[in-house]
């Protein structure tokens, strides 16, 4: 197991680090130690995450689970550990950005250029001298004719009129009402809004789910198998899993539940007893397995006994023991 380059300043952070150290795969350890490639403003960068950033992420997730207006929330350890795996595994979650040479990335600040100050030129108005002598021009200005109204100007311009019968006559001989032909006004055209399709990961998951509408799709993502959408709520209730959400490129997070790959076979059997099951291992479609719903369901008494037994054990500890002893582990 590779040592993780994480700094734990508090006992709480040390517990998170210990869990990651024991359960992180080699691929996840490389992400934690070396960061992941990231591109911003057209520049290649490295996205590195730490435990302080995870605690802020965990606080945000806890607020989503807490009741509206609540000042605190009680979260189980297994849920927080699951958040930790998800935080460091998800490439789209931002930590601190660095250049390839290790220098911290700081976005360039745009400086607004101020227009050059131009001195205002004051123009002194010269008052018009009043003439004490009344002239003929003053009388002409006082007797200016009133301008014609718009209707009168329009009628003066119109030389001929076409009647309803199609007859063309002079405007002076026409005693009816003149109706202007309506003009076609341009009406704004409303363009339909395109709904977001989601992230590439969710698009692939949705395409598989649409092909098998009567099946539960469990997709391997890092150290977890995850189920999305409405069936995630169903599976979470049936298997007593924590229901959370993942950012898939929509306005709201998509419902999601998951379980560790260490003990995935046990969860597969329980899902397969009720649903058809699709297991997606990688991007290669050849690795995808289809398991039809099993006809031999376990007796109700056996399921009840299993549920009662599971309450007496720490699920996280059971996953670790299952990884150590493989098929030799038996709970009595």
Please tell me the distance from the alpha carbon of residue 284 to that of residue 282, in angstroms, as a whole number: 5
Q: How many CB atoms lie within 10 A of CB 84?
A: 22
Could you give the domains of the chain? Answer: 1-105 (no CATH), 198-332 (3.40.1170.10)
Using one digit for the tens of pLDDT, what is the confidence trace for 87-113?
Answer: 888 887 788 888 888 888 887 776 665
Higher pLDDT: 196 or 48? It is: 48
Q: Which pLDDT does position 277 carry in this prediction?
A: 94
Distances (CA, A) of 181 to 59, 162, 184, 273: 67, 12, 10, 75
- Determine contact, residues 30/21, Cβ cutoff 8 Å: no
Minimal CA–CA distance to 205: which of 241, 258, 265, 272? Answer: 258
Using one digit for the tens of pLDDT, what is the confidence trace for 126-166?
Answer: 555 554 454 545 555 555 556 555 554 455 455 666 666 76
In percent, how much of the chain has pLDDT > 70?
61
Q: What is the mean pLDDT of the chain?
A: 76
pLDDT band at 256 (very low <50, low <70, confident <90, very high): very high
Q: Is the pLDDT of residue 219 over 90?
A: yes
Q: Which pLDDT does position 98 carry in this prediction?
A: 87
Q: Is the pLDDT of residue 217 over 80?
A: yes
Q: Which pLDDT does position 124 carry in this prediction?
A: 57
Q: Which pLDDT does position 159 carry in this prediction?
A: 61
Name 158's Cβ contacts closer than 8 Å, sequence gap at least 6: 171, 178
Q: How many residues does the chain have?
A: 332
Minimal CA–CA distance to 22: which of 326, 316, 283? Answer: 316
Q: Which pLDDT does position 162 carry in this prediction?
A: 66
What global pTM score does this model have? 0.41
Give the burial class of 281: count Cβ atoms within 10 A of its Cβ; 0-12 exposed, 13-18 middle, 19 or more buried: middle
Q: How many CB atoms lie within 10 A of CB 320?
A: 16
Q: Which two tokens stand for residue 73?
A: 């929330």
Q: Which two tokens stand for residue 188?
A: 């704004």
- Helices 26-34 and 77-89, axial angle in degrees (round to 10): 70
CA 29 to chain centre: 27
Q: Is the pLDDT of residue 21 over 80?
A: yes
Q: Is the pLDDT of residue 269 over 80?
A: yes
Q: Which region among 51-60, 165-174, 242-251 has the lowest average model confidence (pLDDT)?
A: 165-174
Output 240-247 pairs: Cβ under 8 A, ≥24 positions apart: 240/307, 240/310, 242/76, 242/78, 242/79, 242/82, 244/61, 244/65, 244/79, 244/82, 244/83, 245/64, 246/86, 246/90, 247/92, 247/199
- Determine contact, residues 222/28, Cβ cutoff 8 Å: yes
Using one digit for the tens of pLDDT, what is the confidence trace for 175-206?
Answer: 666 555 555 666 666 666 667 888 999 999 99
Please tell me the distance from the alpha carbon of residue 254 to that of residue 209, in angstroms, as a whole number: 14
Q: Which two tokens stand for residue 221?
A: 């993502």
pLDDT band at 12 (very low <50, low <70, confident <90, very high): confident
Q: Which pLDDT does position 317 carry in this prediction?
A: 56
What mean pLDDT is predicted for residues 56-72? Answer: 78
Q: Is the pLDDT of residue 2 over 90?
A: no
Please tell me the distance from the alpha carbon of residue 169 to that of residue 147, in angstroms, as a whole number: 27
- Identify which of 73-77, 97-101, 322-326 has the greatest average pLDDT: 97-101
Residue 215 main-chain phi, psi, to 5 deg = -130, 155
Q: Which pLDDT does position 105 carry in this prediction?
A: 85
């Amino acid at each position: 197991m590779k040592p993780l380059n994480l700094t734990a300043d508090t006992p709480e952070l040390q517990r998170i680090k210990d869990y990651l150290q024991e359960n992180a795969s080699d691929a996840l350890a490389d992400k934690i130690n070396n960061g992941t490639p990231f591109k911003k403003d057209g520049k290649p960068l490295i996205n590195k995450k730490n435990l302080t950033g995870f605690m802020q992420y965990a606080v945000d997730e806890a607020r989503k689970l807490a009741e509206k207006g609540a000042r605190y929330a009680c979260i189980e350890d297994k849920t927080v550990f699951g958040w930790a795996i998800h935080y460091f595994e998800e490439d789209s979650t931002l930590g601190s950005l660095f250049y390839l040479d290790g220098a911290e990335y700081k976005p360039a600040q745009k400086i607004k250029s101020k227009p050059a100050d131009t001195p205002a030129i004051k123009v002194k108005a010269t008052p018009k001298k009043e003439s004490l002598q009344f002239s003929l021009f003053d009388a002409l200005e006082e007797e200016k004719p009133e301008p014609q109204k718009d209707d009168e100007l329009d009628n003066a311009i119109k030389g001929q009129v076409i009647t309803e019968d199609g007859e063309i006559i002079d405007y002076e001989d026409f005693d009816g009402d003149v109706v202007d032909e309506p003009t076609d006004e341009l009406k704004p055209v409303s363009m339909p809004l395109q709904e977001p399709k989601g992230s590439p990961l969710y698009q692939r998951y949705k395409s598989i789910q649409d092909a098998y509408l009567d099946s539960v799709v469990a997709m391997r993502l890092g150290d977890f198998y995850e189920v999305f959408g409405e069936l995630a709520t169903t599976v979470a209730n049936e298997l007593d899993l924590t229901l959370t959400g993942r950012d898939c490129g929509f306005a709201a997070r998509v419902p999601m539940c998951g379980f560790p790959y260490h003990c995935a076979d046990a969860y597969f059997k329980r899902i397969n007893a009720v649903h058809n099951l699709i297991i997606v291992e990688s991007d290669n479609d050849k690795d995808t397995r289809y398991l039809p719903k099993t006809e031999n369901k376990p007796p109700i008494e056996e399921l009840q006994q299993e549920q009662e037994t599971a309450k007496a054990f720490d699920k996280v500890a059971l996953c670790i023991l299952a990884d150590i002893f493989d098929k030799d582990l038996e709970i009595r």
